[in-house]
Amino acid sequence: MRIGIDARFAGHGGQGLGRYTAELIYALAEIDSDNTYAILTRQRDFWRTLPKNFSLVETSIPWYGMQEHIGIPRLIKEQDIHLMHFVHFNVPYRCPVPYIVTIHDLILRRFSSAHATTRSWPVFAVKYTAYRIGLRNALKNASRIVTVSNASALDIEHFYPFAKKKISVIYEAPTASTIVKEDPALPVSEPFFLHVGNAYPHKNLRYCIDEFVRFNEQNRTYHLALVGKRDVFYERLIRHAEQYRNAQILFLGEVGDETLSSLYRHATAYVSPSLCEGFDLPSTEAALRGIPVVASDIPVHREILGSAALFFPAEKKGALSESLQLIIASQPLRSELTEAGQQHVRQYSWKLAAQQTLELYKSMLNSV
């Protein structure tokens, strides 16, 4: 059987969806020599060498546009694909074959404020309506739905009860191979706390900055290092931080793998103040590297991190600053969190995710 995977999000500098897609494909390539795969990609030169049963199908079709509703079904037919796996909700309205869709989270449903967009309100309203229609179409017509945590599964069931029986939870995984040679040019002075990711409102980074400033008043040697693409959301965050003239807050932008590895290695703790996540891969990456994790007390963090984090109420004034104080004051606590974190996150692996995904493929192909 021939399986298609929409890998257009994977590419140079790709994160999030792209990372998930690439890691899953590489893991599938290691375990499946029976089926053939058509990998729909926008960047052929991004990929490492894949086995002969994996073929790269290059396309310039962009995502989130009308072209994909016409062009992707045409490619599926041209490639004689029997089963498709879409890694995001942007599924063609009429897919000619059965498909699986991965829904990582419903953050846009839960946080639909105009603060979460760079568009004007009328444009946002149109785009958000299109998102709602597209998501419902993707879930309704999917043969199976993959999501990356039980917390996300519950969100899907809440907003779309009809999808409940089609959902399978398959966890993502931190990747040990991303731990590379340490970069000697550390871009921040020690000691420091670290956060990695975008600055969308649900990340709760304004609260994080306010709490760090409160902590910093009594602990002037500490810095807060924020790593993430400098977009309009980070620019808003930078403007918010400017009110604290003497705060030790560093906006590092995007950094390379070696620099990121160095930051993980030297951080006092990793901080994740999010209000909502699908999986929170950076927190597991930090735990894998032996860094204590300080995380907001939300369902997905409890599920993914277990007892391997110091939790605080997500928006309570003073809660995060008190947790940071506790972390620096207690070496036994840091050691306990480090040991628990490394042990806990080893249960997640891309090989296991690929095996579970392949079982879904097989069950669907057997029913075709």
Is residue 42 within 8 A of residue 60, CB to CB? The reply is yes
Q: How many residues make up the chain in this entry?
A: 368
pTM across the whole model: 0.92
How deeply is 128 buried, as exposed, middle or buried, from its count of CB atoms within 10 A (0-12, 13-18, 19+)? middle
Name the residue type at position 180. Answer: V
pLDDT score for 113: 55
Domains of the chain: 2-173+349-367 (3.40.50.2000), 176-345 (3.40.50.2000)
β-pair partners for 38 = 4, 55
How deeply is 239 buried, as exposed, middle or buried, from its count of CB atoms within 10 A (0-12, 13-18, 19+)? exposed
* Strand order across the beta sheet in which 83-86 lies: 54-58, 36-41, 2-6, 83-86, 99-102, 144-147, 167-169
What is the full per-residue pLDDT of the chain (368 aa) written as tens digits?
A: 999 999 999 986 556 889 999 999 999 999 999 999 999 999 999 999 999 999 999 999 998 888 999 999 999 999 999 999 999 999 999 999 999 999 999 998 887 655 555 556 677 777 778 888 999 999 999 999 999 999 999 999 999 999 999 999 999 999 865 555 665 678 888 899 999 999 999 999 999 999 999 999 999 999 999 999 899 999 999 999 999 988 899 999 998 888 888 899 899 999 999 999 999 999 999 999 999 999 999 999 999 999 999 999 999 999 999 999 999 999 999 999 999 999 999 999 999 999 999 999 999 888 76
pLDDT for 179-193, tens place per residue? Answer: 556 656 788 888 999
Maximum Cα interatomic distance, the chain, rounded to a whole number of Å: 65
pLDDT for 309-347, tens place per residue? Answer: 999 999 999 999 999 999 999 999 999 999 999 999 999
Give the burial string for 2-24 (b: 16+ CB within 10 Å, else e).
Answer: bbbbbbbbbbeebbebbbbbbbb
What is the CB-side half-sphere exposure of residue 18 using CA atoms within 13 A?
A: 14
